A and B are shown apart, each in its own frame.
Chain A
Amino acid sequence: MATVQVSEAEKVYILHGIRDDLRVDGRGCEDYRHMEIETDVVSNTDGSAKITLGHTAVLVGVKAEIGKPRPLVPNEGYLEFFVDCSANATPEFEGRGGEELGTELSNTLYKVFNNKHSVDLKSLSISAGEHCWVLYVDVLLLQCDGNLYDAISIAIKAALFNTKIPRVHISSDDEGGKEIELSDDPYDCMRLDVENVPCIVTLCKVGHRHVVDATLQEKACSVASLIISVTHKGTVTCTRKVGGGSLDPESIYEMTEAGKRVGKALHAPLMKLLQQEESLGTKRQKVGFLG
Chain B
Amino acid sequence: MAADMRLPIIRTPVSLLDSAFERKDLVVPGDVITSDTGFMRGHGTYVDEDKLTASVAGEVQRVDKLICVRPLKTRFNGEVGDVVVGRITEVQQKRWKVETNSRLDSVLLLSSVNLPGGELRRRSAEDELTMREYLQEGDLISAEVQSVYSDGALSLHTRSLKYGKLGQGVLLQLSPSLIKRQKTHFHNLPCGASIILGNNGFVWLYPTPEIQEEEAGGFYTSLEPVGLADREVISRLRNCLLALAAHKVLLFDTSVLYCYESSVQHQVKDILKPEVMEEIVMLTQQKLLEQEG
Contacts and interface: CB of A to CB of B under 8 A. Distances in A.
A26 B4 CA distance: 15
B244 to A, nearest CB: 15
A33 B272 contact: yes
Contacts of B63: none
B1 A38 contact: no
Interface string A254-282: 00000000100110011001001100000
B160 to A, nearest CB: 20
Contact of B269 (A26, A37, A52, A277): A26
A114 B201 CA distance: 47
A26 B2 CA distance: 15
B5 A9 contact: no
Given A31-B1, A273-B5, A26 B267 contact: yes
Given A9-B167, A17-B231, A25-B235, A265 B8 contact: no
Interface residues of A, number: 41
Contacts of B121: none
Nearest to B141: A7
B1 A277 contact: no
A285 B138 CA distance: 44
B28 interface: no
Contact of B3 (A12, A25, A266, A284): A266
Given A16-B226, A25-B239, A7 B138 contact: yes
Contact of B5 (A6, A17, A270): A270
B70 interface: no
B5 A5 contact: no
B238 A25 contact: yes
B235 A291 contact: no
B221 A9 contact: yes
A84 interface: no
A72 interface: no
Interface string B1-26: 11111111111000000000000000
Nearest to A199: B3
A36 B9 CA distance: 9
Given A5-B87, A7-B87, A32 B3 contact: yes
Interface in B134-168: 136-140, 166-168
A32 B238 contact: no
B235 A26 contact: yes
Contacts, number: 117
Contacts of B109: none
Contact of A13 (B11, B170, B236, B239): B170
A262 B274 CA distance: 24
Interface in B234-263: 235-236, 238-239
B272 A34 contact: yes
B211 interface: no
A22 B232 contact: yes
A10 B235 contact: no
A20 interface: yes
A17 B2 CA distance: 21
A232 B2 CA distance: 14
B293 interface: no
A27 B269 contact: yes
Contacts of A36: 5-8
B72 to A, nearest CB: 20
A30 B170 contact: no
A269 B11 CA distance: 23
Q: Which of the listed residues A6, A13, A22, A266 has the most CB atoms from chain B within 10 Å of its own CB? A: A13
Contacts of B221: 8-9
Contacts of B2: 265, 269
Q: Which of the listed residues B6, B140, B239 has the most CB atoms from chain A within 10 Å of its own CB? A: B6
Contacts of A30: 1
Given A16-B225, A20-B231, A269-B5, A10 B169 contact: yes
Given A26-B269, A35-B3, 11 more contacts: A9-B166, A13-B170, A17-B231, A24-B238, A25-B268, A26-B268, A37-B6, A38-B8, A52-B8, A287-B8, A291-B9
25 contacts: A5-B89, A5-B138, A7-B139, A8-B223, A9-B168, A9-B221, A10-B168, A10-B169, A10-B171, A13-B170, A13-B226, A20-B231, A25-B268, A25-B272, A26-B238, A26-B271, A28-B1, A28-B269, A31-B1, A31-B3, A34-B273, A37-B6, A270-B5, A285-B10, A290-B10
